[in-house]
């Protein structure tokens, strides 16, 4: 025979599992950012807490500008200034410990390649884990590897010039694996297409390498043109950064189940 507190525990357990597995468990938006507040035509270094990253790509810094074919971006986006490979920049968005290995992250940004061999990347922390356009191909990069998306014919997947794309990468921090999706905004795509990293179209996830979420506090961006020669602005742009963190379903369920157990124990004490 079930006692009242047992019934309460069973009911709360069911609620915990239902909430954890429901579409409403959408997580927390940690980044929702465009560059519209920045002064166009100038370096973003020092604007709205953006900092140029020291190293081989820090001079000149990224430049805020009105993007070409602005329908895919906002009124202000980011371009590579006057550097061949493009600099990189970083901005603090949250505190250390916000990201944990019990989360799945969905990162999204928009980018356009105006001329071939553009770089347009969005990542976290020091940028060793990032995704987007790499040397004119769609790719995920980690501390150890560059994973270039492939067609079923074995070709590298490349963006169409002068088309705005939305790139989305899902990072499972419990497995340290990432997947990559895109939609062609210029073509009017309304849903994302998943990319694969082999000709057989079976490898949909790749390793994030040494990415450590516990120490991450900021976003990292880079846009530019690769290769020697042909320097100048207008080779590529990026805009509309987004990051949503969602707890793993089993983690959320266990947390809610623990809360249910605690409440049931309190009910039992009151009834005794």
> How far is it, in rounded angstroms, from Cα 139 to Cα 205?
11
How does pLDDT run across 140-160, given as a tens digit for each residue? Answer: 999 889 999 999 999 999 999
Q: Is the preceding peptide bond at 60 cis, omega within 30 degrees of 0?
A: yes
CATH code matching the domain that covers 25-271, chosen among 3.30.1490, 3.30.1360, 2.60.120, 3.40.50: 2.60.120
> CA of 166: how far to CAs of 85, 181, 240, 242, in Å?
22, 8, 9, 11
Burial of 156 (0-12, 13-18, 19+ CB in 10 A): middle
Residue 74's contacts (CB-CB under 8 Å, 6 or more residues apart) are: 34, 35, 36, 67, 239, 240
pLDDT average, residue stretch 253-271: 50
pLDDT over 90, % of the chain? 50
Highest mean pLDDT among 42-56, 124-138, 231-245, 256-270: 124-138
Q: What is the pTM of this model?
A: 0.81
pLDDT above 50: residue 13 = no
pLDDT value for 190: 95
């Amino acid at each position: 025979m079930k006692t009242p507190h047992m019934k309460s525990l069973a009911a709360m357990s069911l609620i915990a599992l239902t909430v954890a597995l429901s579409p409403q468990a959408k997580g927390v938006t940690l980044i929702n950012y465009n560059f519209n507040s920045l002064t166009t035509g100038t370096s973003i270094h020092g604007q709205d807490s953006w900092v140029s990253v020291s190293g081989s790509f820090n001079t000149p810094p990224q430049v805020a500008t009105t993007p070409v074919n602005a329908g895919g971006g906002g009124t202000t986006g980011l371009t590579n200034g006057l550097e061949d490979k493009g600099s990189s920049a970083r901005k603090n968005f949250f505190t250390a410990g916000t990201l944990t290995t019990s989360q799945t992250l969905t990162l999204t940004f928009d980018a356009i390649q105006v001329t071939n061999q553009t770089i347009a990347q969005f990542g976290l922390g020091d940028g060793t884990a990032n995704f987007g356009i790499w040397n004119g191909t769609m790719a995920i990069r980690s501390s150890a590897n560059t994973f270039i998306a492939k067609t079923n014919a074995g070709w590298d997947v490349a963006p169409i010039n002068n088309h705005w794309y939305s790139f989305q990468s899902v990072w499972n921090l419990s497995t340290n694996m990432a997947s990559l999706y895109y939609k062609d905004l210029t073509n009017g795509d309304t849903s994302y297409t998943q990319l694969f990293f082999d000709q057989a179209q079976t490898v949909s996830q790749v390793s994030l390498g040494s990415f450590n979420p516990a120490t991450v506090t900021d976003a990292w961006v880079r846009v530019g043109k690769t290769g020697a020669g042909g320097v100048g602005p207008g080779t590529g742009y990026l805009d509309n950064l987004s990051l949503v963190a969602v707890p793993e379903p089993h983690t959320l369920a266990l947390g809610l189940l623990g809360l249910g157990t605690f409440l049931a124990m309190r009910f039992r004490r009151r009834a005794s």
